[in-house]
Amino acid sequence: MRLAIAHTDPDTLIARCDSTGVRIARGEPDYEDGAVLPGGPWQPLTAVLAAELRPNERSADSALVELVKLPDGPPPVTLAHLADQLGDPDAVHLGQARSPAKALTTTPNHQNGRRIGLHIDNWDRLCYQAKHTGRRRLCFNLGPGTRYLLLGGLDIQAIYRDLHADPEGRYPHTDDLRAYAALGLPLRVFRLRIDPGEGYIAPTELLPHDGSTEDQPQPSTAAFWLGHWPRGVLASLI
């Protein structure tokens, strides 16, 4: 599958999205060797690319990226309960993560402190043929700064098929993304701006992704949930 971003106004998507190729981290103290990073420089999203990102009739809700607003109505008793009324009673609050300002990517390996770059989540422990059915991640930017959602233009199933002649029954991993990028195979990364009070719902089990605060002068804190949410459960920003 390709990256699909739900939107009704291409100009609004273009205004908050740009793209670039990728590079591999080698000998960089802040990053694991082999980490897949945005290569830069960032280029404005074109009308052609925006059209290619539009979902089609075969785009499943579980594979869709949505940019969303905070829910209407009174605030929840606690932040952990924010997703309780969004249609999945089994949704899980993962907590919060504070990201420093001016970070090209944000997720660290907590065992060594080095950032891992674009990666694939594995909360649901899904094999290749089921990877697209995983829960989506809901994120809200709590501020104070703006942050970005980074997304690879190809999902891990497509990447895995290019690496393995017999992918059935295997378990895709971030190492497969790194192997794909190290071979110089085509991959674009897209950067979506998420201002304070805004959020996204994205299939992070399926798409290479990370956060970013590149060029942003303030840190930001993000809150995260996992759940099976239908398309349109929150109002769209675009």
The residue among 6, 2, 61 whose CA lies nearest residue 227 is 61
- CA max distance for the chain: 52
In contact, 116 and 174? CB cutoff 8 Å: yes
Give the helix/strand (H/E) hosting 159: helix 156-163
**pLDDT above 80 for 216:** yes
Q: What is the mean pLDDT of residues 20-43?
A: 97
Give me the pLDDT at residue 127, please.
96
**E strands within 85-219?**
92-99, 115-117, 136-144, 147-152, 189-194, 198-202, 209-212
Give me the pLDDT at residue 79, please.
84
Give the helix/strand (H/E) hosting 160: helix 156-163
The residue among 178, 146, 151, 163 whose CA lies nearest residue 20 is 151
Which residues on neighbouring strands pair with residue 200, listed in sequence order?
A: 67, 139
Work out the end-to-end distance of the chain between its first and last CA atoms, rounded to an integer number of angstroms. 22
* Single-letter residue type at 12: T
**pLDDT above 80 for 196:** yes
**E strands within 154-238?**
189-194, 198-202, 209-212, 220-227
- Residue 11: pLDDT band with limits 50, 70, 90: very high
Give me the pLDDT at residue 144, please.
97
Structure tokens at 18: 């740009």
In contact, 102 and 30? CB cutoff 8 Å: no
Q: Supply the mean pLDDT for the chain.
A: 95
CA dist., res. 94 & res. 35, Å (int): 24
Is 0.85 topped by the overall pTM?
Answer: yes
* Single-letter residue type at 27: G
Q: What is the mean pLDDT of residues 88-112?
A: 95
Instruction: Give the three-state DSSP class for 109.
Output: coil
